[in-house]
A and B are shown apart, each in its own frame.
Chain A
Amino acid sequence: MARLTSLASVLAALELPEDEVLAPRDGREGGPPVAGAPREGYVVGSMAHGAQPGYEIWVNARNQAQFYAAYAEMLEPGRRSRSRRRQRSRQRLSLGRRPGDGGDAWVGEIYPEGHWAGPATLATSYRLAAQYAALVDARWATKLAVRAAMAYVSSGLPFGLFLATGLLDDETLNDRVTLRALVEPFRNPEASDAIRHPVQQTYLLLAASSRPWLRDPLRHALRDAERRLTAHGLYSIGPQGIPLGDYVDLAVALRYDDDSAGLGGSGASFTEIARRLAGLQRIQATALRAAQRNRFMWRRGASAIDLENVALSGLALRHRPWFGELSEAISEQLVRDDELAELPLWTMGEVETELPDIADSVTDIMREPERAWRLGDFREPDTETDPWTGEAFRTRETTRSPTARSADEEHRSPASPTRPDYPVARRDDAAPGTRPKANPDTESYGPLGPTSIEYPQSAAYGSDDYASDGDEGDDGDDPYSGDK
């Protein structure tokens, strides 16, 4: 019997054991967790309302999902070309030198075109976004994961095919255009070095073992794969450092179960698959408990959901029409284990439940992955539901200012640096609670205002000696809050 049956139960399981209840930062008393805490005053990133078990993890998961999605989006080729057009447009308008270096110009510098780091970071960022989003909204997480899968595929990595076939059902995958996009890059084993790499071969083998219809198009790439992978069986791979041989064994167990592979199809393989998956999930639970020891990182940045493990479960659960049955069998295997071992099953169950409703969006993302970020329903959770009450809410867009301050605070205290020569728009020009007015000549510049002010390239730095000040003692707020 599964113990993780709802998001609230997952968040409670993720809560740090014997954690002290921190007082909310608004000065109210902390107190023990309270069921059904009010939503009023909900501010992302604060403990402005009662301390539900896992509340801070949930809030931070949402913020991290947004951060990684935003970072990935900045790397989208379509977005970059738009930025370049915008920059050329500025130059044509002879607007002079921009203060700073112009919004997202950093992307081209840090991830130059043609270098592998850009596509790799794009895929990684979407994957991480999906992992955090899984603790917020399964629909949102699925779409981000599919975008990540397509990014891996377009980089020539079979891991993308592994992710997509694990997460999605045959009905969703049964689209000629998307299927071709998914499989075509891996038909020819000479297409890239990555296809022949043992780790990527393993992912390819797992995908083909799960779906018989993949075996024919992948037959060249997978010729003699099991024998070749034997030599690499003891190498640790994946986020949990599991021996590659364990993955291959699971792939073999899936194939033995398959009548079409001519290898039988016995009830014994059902138990074998459940046993192997339970073993893999125990390892993840152990790793998560180890991660909890770093309480600072766990509260803020723990990535409890591992998409690779989720997809691995998905490949087995979708291998036959036995999703619920096998899921139950794996849960039975884990009944005496840490409940965190059930996380991949719970995530996969959520994806399965929500998939029919978002199948069209998913197909759109797979057909045109580079345009996915333009879709409204790709950027935000589909539904914002209180995990503890089940009530839908959506206050974020209307209550939070760009600096997470209230409208009054925003008006009273412009969040601009203190240097008088600093080229930031004077936010007190704007009405309370509104964004600063855009300069009509520089509309696309966003919040930056005058363009004639030089950025302080040769600023006169402070001359005070930190050690000899004598007044730098612990007598006030540390200006470096949050700095590690």
Chain B
Amino acid sequence: MFVQMCVKGMHGITLEDACAIMGSRGLTCAWWRHAGRISSAEIDERLTAEELDLHVNSYEDKHPTRGGRVKDESPFISLTAGQVERDKYEADNLTHPAHLVAMRFATNFGNLRGECFLFYCWVIVGMRPSVPVRHLAEEVRELNTYARFSPFQLEGEIVAKVEVPPRQIEKFEHYECQDGRDGLPELRRLGTVYNKKGYISPHDVTNYRPMLKKPDRLGN
């Protein structure tokens, strides 16, 4: 397992919503948002490879076993960590940085004229497919893990499950996409809000030991 920093692009929310997501709600899956209340047993039932496949490849289709569309029923949350296409930059010619990919989703594929948000967070990713394990994210961009070919693999998708808690959300950036000169959209960052109260850096909880600078309060 490893810690992966990711970005989540969102639109259709206000600054107040964004603060609430980072402060208390966390990033939650559509299923939870729509159901209002879900149980551990239900979560176990929903975290399957079939559901993940629906989320990744049939997002807007009708869910085969539930009432609504997959996008309203999915227990997964799409994040991106970027992707360099199949090879290092010198070898191939397309690079998909996380910011660019997240911004593409946040602006609703270039359709949005208004405000959008990028949430920066971390998740723990399994080195092998681990769909039933709620607290491990799936690296669907990784061809070694998910060998099947996806034409949209270049989204650099990391799929979290059910929620990304506020403790793992470092900050959000607030952007506005508006028509600039000659009508070409212009992406302006309106501000950045850090989760100073709640964020726990992965460095604080993983095998990372900073060099000794000065004795701490315990004299170590």
Contact = CB atoms under 8 A, between A and B. Distances in A.
Interface in A143-157: 152, 157
Contacts of A100: 174, 189-192
A470 B194 CA distance: 29
A127 B104 contact: no
B197 A301 contact: no
Given A194-B90, A199-B87, A400 B113 contact: yes
B10 interface: yes
28 contacts: A63-B111, A64-B104, A64-B109, A106-B173, A106-B187, A106-B189, A121-B95, A197-B91, A198-B91, A237-B92, A238-B92, A294-B56, A295-B58, A295-B60, A376-B182, A380-B184, A417-B15, A418-B16, A446-B188, A448-B190, A459-B193, A461-B19, A466-B26, A467-B38, A470-B36, A478-B72, A479-B13, A480-B13
B19 A484 contact: no
A325 interface: no
A301 B192 CA distance: 28
Contacts of B112: 45, 404
Contacts of A481: 11-12
B20 interface: yes
Contacts of B36: 467, 469-474
Contacts of A110: 97, 99
A95 interface: no
B190 A483 contact: no
Contacts of B60: 295-296, 299
Interface string A49-71: 00000000000100111111111
B32 A466 contact: yes
B92 A462 contact: no
Contacts of B105: 484
B67 to A, nearest CB: 10
Contact of A60 (B34, B110, B190, B197): B110
Given A70-B186, A473-B35, A447 B110 contact: no
B16 to A, nearest CB: 5
Given A100-B192, A294-B59, A462-B16, A70 B197 contact: no
B66 interface: no
B110 A123 contact: no
Given A458-B197, A466-B28, A479-B17, A101 B189 contact: yes
A74 B20 CA distance: 30
Q: How large is the interface on B (under 10, 10 to 19, 20 to 34, 35 or more residues)?
A: 35 or more
B145 interface: no
B199 to A, nearest CB: 12
Interface stretch (A1-9, A33-41, A285-293, A336-344): A285-293
A478 B104 CA distance: 20
B100 A121 contact: yes
Contacts of B78: 484
B104 A69 contact: no
A103 interface: yes
B208 interface: no
A478 B113 CA distance: 19
B14 A417 contact: yes
Interface in A220-249: 236-239, 241
A396 B37 contact: no
Contacts of A396: 183
Contacts of A102: 189
B57 A294 contact: yes
B4 interface: no
Nearest to A402: B178
A464 interface: yes
Contacts of A457: 193-194, 196
Given A70-B185, A467-B37, A462 B193 contact: no
B114 A404 contact: yes
Interface of B: 10-17, 19-20, 22-26, 28, 30, 32-38, 56-61, 71-72, 78, 85-87, 89-97, 99-100, 103-105, 107-115, 149-152, 173-176, 178-194, 196-197
A463 B167 CA distance: 14
Nearest to B176: A447
Interface string A78-105: 0000000000000000000001111111
A439 interface: no
Contacts of A194: 90
Contact of A104 (B100, B152, B189): B189
A422 interface: yes
Q: Which 9 A-B pairs have the closest CB atoms?
A: A461-B23, A100-B191, A67-B110, A45-B111, A462-B20, A291-B151, A63-B110, A417-B15, A296-B60
A300 B37 CA distance: 31
Interface residues of A, number: 105
Given A121-B97, A380-B182, A404-B114, 5 more contacts: A74-B187, A100-B191, A194-B90, A295-B60, A483-B12
B28 to A, nearest CB: 6
A257 B176 CA distance: 54
B10 A480 contact: yes
A171 interface: no
Given A199-B91, A417-B15, A462-B25, A104 B187 contact: yes
B179 to A, nearest CB: 5
B103 A293 contact: no
A466 B24 contact: yes
A412 to B, nearest CB: 15
Nearest to B37: A467
Contacts of B113: 400-404
A176 interface: no
A352 B32 CA distance: 53
A246 to B, nearest CB: 16
A117 B16 CA distance: 33
A107 to B, nearest CB: 9
Interface string A415-427: 1011100111000
Contact of A193 (B38, B90, B190, B193): B90
Contacts of A117: 95, 97
A183 B103 CA distance: 35
Contacts of B149: 241, 290
A474 B35 contact: yes
B152 A294 contact: yes
Contact of A473 (B34, B97, B176, B178): B34
A25 B19 CA distance: 30
B61 A295 contact: yes
